[in-house]
Structure 1
Amino acid sequence: MYRNHTYGGGYFNFVSYIANLDGRKYADLGYFSANDSVSSVYNNGTKKAVRFYQTKNYTGPYVDLPLKTEDTNLNDASGQIKKVFNDRISSAKFI
């Protein structure tokens, strides 16, 4: 998960799940919370799709990103994810 469009502005990685992004910081932007601030995503997993949820604890509206795919701009619906989901991700897990 990246703070800005086209993988800029900081990144946040997870291995299997993250129930609540609140209080979690971007790896190279230690001062900026990852909750409700993701603008681009890439699924670099090895076996599964990833599901991004709008609220913590895997609840609320969600979008799926298949294995080895990306969406460089969550602010429109023209990429892999067909919903506007910019700055709306609060939890995620591989499914």
Structure 2
Amino acid sequence: MDANYTTLSNGGHGGGDWVGFQQNIYSFVGYYYSWSGSGYYNGANDSASSIYNNGNSCTSGYYLDAGYGTLAIRTSKKTGWSNLAVSGGYNDQLSSGQFIC
């Protein structure tokens, strides 16, 4: 079985904070970044500053709306965007994600 996963990073608090998923996330509402030892949590909805698809076979899709509405970005396996503000202007705008196989 393929071990696809993708990450969203908000780049804050040292830049190492991320939310990963292995299948699909209908809505990033309810998913949170946490900073180790800080006790601080931030919601993942509309807050990603970078993305990376570490999957082995599938493309990942990121959407502006919950429920996979309005496709913003597709990334092939082992690729990503390190700065969503520069690459397409999607910083802090992603609301759902899925693998497209």
Name the TM tier (shorter chain). 0.7 to 0.9
Determine which structure has more spread, i.e. the larger CA radius of gyration.
2
Number of aligned residue pairs: give it.
89
2-structure distance, mates of 1:42, 1:18:
15
- 1:25 equivalenced with 2:35 (yes/no): no
Partner of 2:10: 3
Which segment is superposed worse, 31-40 or 7-16? 7-16
Deviations 1:9-33 (A, max 9, x none): 5100000110000121125466110
After TM superposition, the structure 1 = structure 2 runs for residues 1-95 of structure 1, keeping only pairs within 5 Å, are 1-4=8-11, 8-28=15-35, 31-77=41-87, 83-95=88-100
Structure (1 or 2) with the greater strand fraction: 2
- The structure 1 segments of at least 4 consecutive aligned residues displaced by more than 3 Å after TM superposition are 27-30
Alignment TM-score, normalising by the size of structure 1: 0.84
Q: What secondary structure sits across from 1:4 in the alignment?
A: coil
Over aligned residues, Cα RMSD in angstroms? Answer: 1.9
Deviations 1:42-84 (A, max 9, x none): 111121110000000000242101110121100013xxxxx21
2-structure distance, mates of 1:46, 1:28:
28
Alignment TM-score, normalising by the size of structure 2: 0.79
